[in-house]
Amino acid sequence: MKIRVEQEEFAEAVAWAARTLPSRPTTPVLTGVRLSGDGDAIQLAAFDLEVSAKADVPAVIDEPGTAVVNGRLLAEIAKALPAQPVELGLEGNRVSVRCGRSTFGLPTMAVEDYPALPELPPHAGQVSASDFAAAVAQVAIAASRDDTLPVLTGIRVELTATSMRMAATDRYRLAVRDIPWQPAAGGEHFALVKARQLHELGRSLGHADAVQIALGEGDDGRIGFGLGDRELVTRLLAGDFPRYEQLLPSESHTVATVATAALTEAAKRVKLVAAERTTPIRLQFSDGEVLLRAGAYDDANASESLECEMSGDPIEIAFNPDYLLDGLTAVGTDQTTLSFTTANKPAVLSPAGDDTSYQYLLMPVRLSN
């Protein structure tokens, strides 16, 4: 194997593949990235038996060949190399990496022990990469991190003739985002994907224009994502996602619109006196004003008031401050609308105006007098 490739492209491709490497591999070979040089490109691939990632990079192939080396170490080396052509060679049981005056030798693993990577499922359609990345970021915050309930660690992806909907919940909040998409064929499709994997994918889209969606049929429980010369295929989560639609309120008794940045900063200041991270902060809406309070009278306490546009009945409601701040950050607009029914029922945060493409439903904390 003798291959020459540009450093920047090589480093990006190794990083793409290495993101899927398992932290606790079931076998040592799964810590490796497979390098395969043939024709006019080198392919870098990683597979942890659930998620596979491939990236093809244009290269000069003097001698084709395949090798498997430690993926995380290769990613660190590739990133640190100077911006010059990288030469890769297979010398016995080591892969040499030369760039400028730098030379590295990496021991190889048995290529025959490396598992076969899954094929990309049938093409289902495509979506704007920027819309996709923004939607994943807005929704992933509401997914559970408790692996004892795998279904809640996922994002439900719903595909229709005109839109892609993503939804996630950890039982304390629910995030739903709708974005337009271009299906390859009619029909509705549903998939439950690990939120962590989608979040990593969203962060690595870079300058891509579109994301190609591929979805398995029948017993092929996989979904694939394609970005030009890169692809990722992951196994779907099993189980039934909660029927979240019935949680979204059909009416509101109180609606308030507040400057997002001002409310965010006020909530950060008021929560400073909270004895614990989960200690709630109270929001009292009345007469065009919202009053934030936290702490007890016999302990440290804080309050701050902000102007707001309000319609409906006055209301006092309490929230976990971190969950509230997550929602305000995810809304992503200058003004946030908060809609309420009663102090004991979920509130909905959404962009101000007529934009209903994003909803962040937040369960209140029961008030104690």
Residues in contact with 260: Cβ distance below 8 Å, sequence separation at least 6, in sequence order: 328, 331, 333, 334, 335, 336
Write down the pTM of the prediction: 0.90
Which pLDDT tens digit goes with each residue over 81-102? 999 999 999 999 999 999 999 9
Paired strand residues for 284: 291, 316
Which pLDDT tens digit goes with each residue over 294-319? 986 667 889 999 999 999 999 999 99
Is the pLDDT at 354 greater than 80? The verdict is no
In sequence order, which ranges of 173-259 are alpha helices (DSSP H)? 195-203
Is the pLDDT at 67 greater than 90? The verdict is yes
Q: Residue 208's pLDDT is what? A: 85
| DSSP per-residue letters across 306-342 | EE-EEEE--EEEEE-HHHHHHHHHHH-SSEEEEEES-
Q: Residue 321's pLDDT is what? A: 94
User: What are the structural domains of the chain?
Assistant: 2-113 (3.10.150.10), 123-245 (3.10.150.10), 249-362 (3.10.150.10)
Residues in contact with 234: Cβ distance below 8 Å, sequence separation at least 6, in sequence order: 50, 51, 52, 193, 194, 197, 222, 223, 224
Cα 51 to Cα 31, 45, 66, 134, 203: the distances in Å are 13, 11, 21, 22, 16
Q: With bands split at pLDDT 50, 70 and 90, how would you rate the model's confidence at 213? A: very high
Which helix (H) or strand (E) segment holds residue 15: the answer is helix 7-18
Instruction: Look at 204-213, 279-288, 291-300, 328-337 and tell me which has the smallest mean pLDDT.
Output: 291-300
Beta strands in 188-334 (DSSP E): 189-194, 210-215, 222-227, 230-235, 254-259, 281-286, 289-295, 301-307, 309-312, 315-319
Is the pLDDT at 219 greater than 60? The verdict is no
Say whether 17 sits in a helix, a strand or coil. helix
Residues in contact with 303: Cβ distance below 8 Å, sequence separation at least 6, in sequence order: 270, 291, 292, 293, 294
